[in-house]
A = this chain, B = another copy of it.
Amino acid sequence: MTLPIVARNYREQSPLVFCLTNTVVTNFTANVLLASGAAPAMTDLPGEARPFAAAASAVLVNLGTPTTEQLRAMEEAVESASAAGTPWVLDPVAVGALPVRTEFARRIVARRPTLIRGNASEIMALAGWESSGRGVDSLDSVQEAIAAGRELAVKYGSVVAISGEADAIIDAQRTVLVHTNGIGLTRITGGGCALGAVCAGMLAVHEDPFEAAVAAHGYYGLAAEKALAASSGPGSFAVAFLDSLAAVEPAALETLNCEEKTYA
């Protein structure tokens, strides 16, 4: 893989990432995109989502706090991104635990997201498996969810990324575990949600979405490790994380701890 190249392209091209995301993490997501070198933009308005999804470099659809109007904008954005060939990411936040978004996610996933990113419970629920999420927390392990992820990957032609102690990136042929110490990200809100936005940006600058997803997770995780060392609690971690996203060199991805898994 050529992970440093993906990260370098991201920094140089500064992809415009159109985020339809939840109200808890809008600010953090925009700052994560800016710190890492991309350009964030948000609108949740039907009539604007359609043209903007065609013009943007990539689209993120995050189901954290949908409104009736935002769901309509998301439908527009996904239709438009699909038609334009714009890569898009589906983050099925709390799918399985909450009914309206679960129904919506199961419908919209048929539009074949370039990438699906979630925690183990969300990925299992999206695949129609039994899961045990509690709100936004996963009570299932990444290992348990990998087979569900593969099902989604095969069915929709998507790359599937499962966040957890190690992050699993899956497509129809491959599974890679990305090992970084992301414990700091579990102590602040939006760690996973903003990662979805960075993934979207990486998809925009690299042809192979599987490699783009690995690069995004690796880059993000390395920044989290660096920030953990520089902080003394969740407040200072979030600040240091933004500083680290701006400071991590693409070349650092050369030594990323990636583990290729083979399954029968």
Contacts and interface: CB of A to CB of B under 8 A. Distances in A.
Contacts of A51: 98-99
A97 B53 CA distance: 12
Of listed A25, A42, A94, residue having the most chain B CB within 10 A: A42
Contact of A189 (B27, B100, B190): B27
Contacts of A22: 42
A96 to B, nearest CB: 12
A173 interface: no
Copies of this chain per assembly: 3
Contacts of A190: 27, 30
Contact of A67 (B45, B187, B243): B45
Contacts of A42: 22-24, 64-65
Interface of A: 16, 18, 22-28, 30-31, 34-35, 39-45, 47-48, 51-52, 55-56, 64-69, 94, 97-101, 134-137, 187-190, 232-236, 238-247
